[in-house]
Amino acid sequence: MKIIGANFKMNFKKDDINNYLEVIKNKFPIDNIIFFPSDLYIENFAKNNYLVGSQNISFQEFGAVTGDTSILQLKELGIKYTLIGHSERRKYFNDDNYIADKMKLALKNDIIPVLCIGESLREYENNLTKDKLKEQIDIALKDNRSDKIIIAYEPIWSIGTGKIPTNDILTEIISFIKNYINENYQINLKVIYGGSVNLDNILELNKINNLDGYLIGGATLNPNKFLELIDKIK
């Protein structure tokens, strides 16, 4: 069964979340779908027995980091997963500097890291995708080997833009990521794809054999449409 991550980003207020939960109630098996809502609503999903993850964790475990949220606090709310290094975090919050620390904290606390990696448009156009991915993988995995880690390949130029790589390119990149990690770290990791996944492209994406699932943003925000999407992925 494919992994489906729903990344809500900084969307939804309390009423929207309650409505969302009402719409999806009893509509699908919950063991392969992971919700990544704002921290404020993690508990709403956990209480209803959905798999839930945070969109981020602090680089420190606990204590004096004003405005951050500790993995220990997030665990109390019920997370089993966390995104690490989403490109929006790397862009706005310098997360490139904290990836290794966050990976270590997640694994230490038995939280499954969903490590987001991906190249910029400029890197893609200059044929630097693999170099960029290697660099991001090495920083994250060097001291943090675990076969629990999930890799989310998200080309930055695909996120929220409607543009996605061709199936041939994706097949090649996914197998590159898996082989590189296997050869250098002796672990076999699942790789999911993120970036403009939607109802229009999902059937085509489903043809990619070596893909283990999806991390989906915009197309999860309407719960009815998300249910349709889930139906097409199964």
Annotate each residue in 179-198 with x if it binds ligand PGA (CB under 6 A) or - if it does not, as one string: ---------------xxxx-
Q: How far apart are CA 183 and CA 191, in angstroms?
A: 15
End-to-end CA distance of the chain: 7
C-beta of 88 vs 123, nearer to ligand PGA = 88
Q: How far apart are CA 42 and CA 83, in angstroms?
A: 13
Give the shortest CB-55-to-ligand PGA separation in angstroms. Answer: 9
Site residues for ligand PGA, 197-226, by CB under 6 A, read 197, 215-219
Annotate each residue in 127-166 with x if it binds ligand PGA (CB under 6 A) or - if it does not, as one string: ---------------------------x----xx------
- Please list, in sequence order, all residues whose beta carbon lies within 8 angstroms of the beta carbon of residue 95, skipping any fewer than 6 positions away: 56, 84, 85, 86, 89, 102
Q: Look-up: residue for tokens 């230490």?
A: 108
Q: How far apart are CA 230 and CA 228, in angstroms?
A: 5
**Which phi and psi (to 5°) does residue 216 adopt?**
-120, 130
Q: Is 88 a catalytic residue?
A: no
Q: Is 154 a catalytic residue?
A: yes
**Per CB under 6 A, 169 contacts ligand PGA:** no
Active-site residue, from 22, 86, 204, 228: 86
Residues that bind ligand PGA (CB under 6 A): 7, 154, 159-160, 194-197, 215-219
